[in-house]
Amino acid sequence: MTTTLTDTKSGKMLIDWLRDAHAMEKQAEQMLSNTARRIENYPELKARLERHLDQTRRQADLVRGCIERLGGDTSMIKDMTGQVAGLGQALSGLFVGDEVVKGSMASYVFEQMEIASYRTLMAAAEHCGDLETKRVCETILREEEEMADWLENQLPDITIRFLSLAERGGTAKH
């Protein structure tokens, strides 16, 4: 990859957005592991969250690799962005009441944000002529789309299971 990319405005922007994406993945990692750990009565959801947690860890490494390859300073990598902080709180809060339903909704919204981020990154990378970053982002995008599709399909089942358990047990166990 060209070493002059960091000197252009677009190149700097691309690296900035990659840093944001890295922060987003670190946030996702925390949310997924917190949520998966708490879930008991939804084995499929738990397993899918754990699988996506593995994918998310690899995604963070891949994004970091793009930043490093472009000569970006990885010590500047932020741990969190304000953009995702609110969603993070929604997912890492105590599991009370209907939190498994709200957590699933928040996970779905988070995946949509990731999809938007990687679509943006793909366009920026192409504009900068960084086809390797574009390829990496496309690979990650597919995983986010798969996760979003899965959650979208499962939301009704999760909701119905939650309501059934609540009716049966009186208490809403997760």
Binding site for Mg ion (CB under 5 A): 56, 59, 114
- By the rule CB under 5 A, 25 interacts with Fe ion: no
- Among residues 59 and 133, whose Cβ is nearest to Mg ion? 59
CB closer to Mg ion, 30 vs 59: 59
Tokens at 160, concatenated: 């119905």
Tokens 């969603």 sit on residue: 87
CB of 59 to Fe ion, least distance (A): 7
CB of 49 to Fe ion, least distance (A): 10
Question: Scanning the structure block, which residue is given the tokens 């994406």?
Answer: 21
Please work out the total of residues on this chain that contact Fe ion, with binding judged by CB under 5 A.
2
Q: Is 144 in the site for Fe ion (CB under 5 A)?
A: yes
Q: Which two tokens stand for residue 79?
A: 């741990």
- Give dist(CA 163, CA 169) in Å, integer: 10
Q: Is there a contact between 81 and 97 (Cβ–Cβ < 8 Å)?
A: no
Q: Tell me the window of 34-42, 82-90, 107-115, 124-132 that interacts with Fe ion (CB under 5 A).
A: 107-115
Instruction: State in angstroms the smallest separation of the CB of 97 from Fe ion.
Output: 25
The Cα angle at residue 43 between residues 41 and 44, in degrees rounded to 5: 135
If contact means CB under 5 to 8 A according to the sort of partner, which of Mg ion, Fe ion, none does residue 130 touch?
none
CA distance 104 to 97: 13
Rounded to 5°, the CA angle 45-55-151 comes to: 30
Within positions 110 to 139, which residues make up the interface with Fe ion, using CB under 5 A?
A: 114
Footprint of Fe ion on this chain (CB under 5 A)?
114, 144
